[in-house]
Amino acid sequence: MESKLGKSDICIITGTGIKIDLKSFTKKKQINYSEFDLPKPTTSSHKGYFEIFEGNNLRIIVANGRFHYYEGLSPSKLRALPEILCKTDPKLMILTNSTGGLDPFFKKGDLMVIRDHINLTNTNPLIGIDSDNKFVDMVDAYSPYYIEKLKESALGLSIDLKEGIYVGVSGPSLETPAETRFLRLIGASCVAMSLINETIVSRFFGIDVLGVSIITNVNKPDCMGKIPIEEVINQASLASKKLSILFDDFLLKNDFNKKRT
């Protein structure tokens, strides 16, 4: 089934409300998830199709929509999407998601490059996998090299790119004020219910990962208000324009075939 996608240089997975528009690249093809042995996304803003872009000697596969622990899927189903992408042999897996900010200095619409993560989902996509390589070393789970390259693009574009630690929880309920205080106490900068799954699978296949979170709201435990999903989607959609510009520049300015130092 991987042959339908062919080979890739870069793979991107989008999160809730996020749409990546690569202006400097040409869209060549769109393929629905239904053509693969993938479950149907149950979250409405996760559309369930691949887009293939080409340009600048790069072939880029964008997966529009992902699967979450809260959808009740087994570890094998949770690793299916990133596994399909990893088998296209990319040099880099770029993961995005929409998150609640925990850092009080963050604001709606900020972009945060992920330096590290904390897995509080109470599960792992490699559970049950038949491989001696399942004990994946998660040191430098997010490539320090590509983090610096993305920061260089952000600086050149005058985009305020935050940097921090992402914490993943199982969901689907949102955090209580007490849970928010706890997550801040353990060093998390933002929180959501996704992305860690794909990071672990990508590292299992030996593929470098770059993660970027859109801050759709900021959780303030002493004055927390309700966070409608419509607001999350709207904020993610607005910030997608800035994120697309950043990715476009990053993809144009870096040689992904060059040996990293």
Burial of 231 by CB count in 10 Å (0-12 exposed, 13-18 middle, 19+ buried)?
A: middle
Specify the pLDDT at position 1: 44
Structure tokens at 60: 């880029």
Note the pLDDT of residue 177: 92
- Give per-residue pLDDT as tens, 118-175: 999 999 999 999 888 899 999 999 999 999 999 999 999 999 999 999 999 999 999 9
Domain ranges of the chain: 2-253
Closest to 68 measured CA to CA, from 177, 193, 233, 200: 193
Decide if pLDDT at 259 tops 70.
no
The answer to whether 95 touches 80, Cβ cutoff 8 Å, is: no
* pLDDT given at position 74: 86
Q: What is the pLDDT of residues 200-226, one digit of tens each?
A: 999 999 999 999 999 999 988 776 677
**pLDDT tens digits for range 77-89:** 889 999 999 999 9
The token pair that represents 93 in the structure block: 């897996």
Looking at domain 2-253, what is its CATH homologous superfamily? Nucleoside phosphorylase domain (3.40.50.1580)
List, for residues 40-98, the tens digit of each pLDDT value: 777 767 789 999 999 999 999 999 999 888 888 888 888 999 999 999 999 999 999 99
Query: Which residues, at least 6 apart from 192, have a Cβ–Cβ distance to it below 8 Å?
Result: 15, 97, 98, 99, 100, 166, 168, 169, 213
